Amino acid sequence: MVKIDDVDIKILRELQEDARKSLKEISEKVGVAEGTVYNRINKMRKIGLIKKFIPVIDYSLLGYDLIAIIGITAEGGYLTEIEKEIANEKNVTAVYDVTGDYDIIVVAKFKDRDSLNAFVKRVAGMKRVLKTYTMLVLNVVKESHLIDL
């Protein structure tokens, strides 16, 4: 395992704030040379700590106003297969293998009830899916993949 130190954490914080920051801006904030920032970012990309540099999109502005959280109970031994199939659906933003009442939790966004309905029926009709339970999000209080480092 590659060691992550305080400099790496500071660089990550700067990138979380704005991944478009220049190496110079980051180096000035962190207090290290630009070359150090460049090398540290490359190291973190190589080990998979930094996966992508992508924009954070407000999908509701594109019409994706319906957010569904779907609990799925599946036949034992087929979880991975089902999860992979669901993960390939274009509206799905997250697939979690969980403990509790369900085996899988899916988060997906839709433009309208018809597309949500079609998706739920597709999932419910999948081989080895025993039961689905769909919840609609009424209000988004917080939605982020970021945590304070």
**Do residues 97 and 79 lie in contact, with contact meaning Cβ atoms separated by under 8 Å?**
yes
Architecture of domain 6-46: Orthogonal Bundle (1.10)
Question: Average pLDDT of 96-108?
Answer: 97
Do 107 and 91 form a contact (C-beta atoms < 8 A)? no
pTM above 0.75, yes or no: yes
The 10s digit of each residue's pLDDT in 34-57 is 999 999 999 999 999 999 998 889
Predicted confidence (pLDDT) per residue in 105-134, tens digit: 999 999 999 999 999 999 999 999 999 999
> In this structure, which topology does domain 61-136 adopt according to CATH?
Alpha-Beta Plaits (3.30.70)
Which of 15, 65, 73, 63 shows the shortest CA–CA distance to 40?
A: 15
User: SS3 for 73?
Assistant: strand
pLDDT band at 1 (very low <50, low <70, confident <90, very high): low
Domain ranges, ordered by start, for the chain = 6-46, 61-136
3-state secondary structure of 63: coil
pLDDT of amino acid 23: 96
For residues 12-39, average pLDDT: 95
In this prediction, residue 77 has a pLDDT band, given cuts at 50, 70 and 90, of confident
Token digits for 125?
């009709």
Mean pLDDT of 63-85: 95
